[in-house]
Amino acid sequence: MSDATRPSVLFVCVHNAGRSQMAAAFLTHLAGDRIEVRSAGSLPADRVNPAVIEAMAEVGIDITAATPKALTNETVQASDYVITMGCGDACPVFPGKTYLDWQLDDPAGRDVEAVRPIRDQVKQHVEVLIAGIAA
Contact present, 12 and 20 (Cβ < 8 Å): yes
- From residue 79, alpha-carbon distances to 54, 68, 93, 98, 108 in Å are 28, 18, 11, 9, 26
- Which residue among the candidates 48, 91, 112, 115 is catalytic per the annotation? 91
Residue 34 appears among annotated catalytic residues: no
Residue 24 appears among annotated catalytic residues: no
Residue 29 appears among annotated catalytic residues: no
Closest CA to 126 of 38, 24, 55, 48: 24
- Which residue among the candidates 9, 13, 23, 85 is catalytic per the annotation? 13
Active site residues: 13, 87, 91
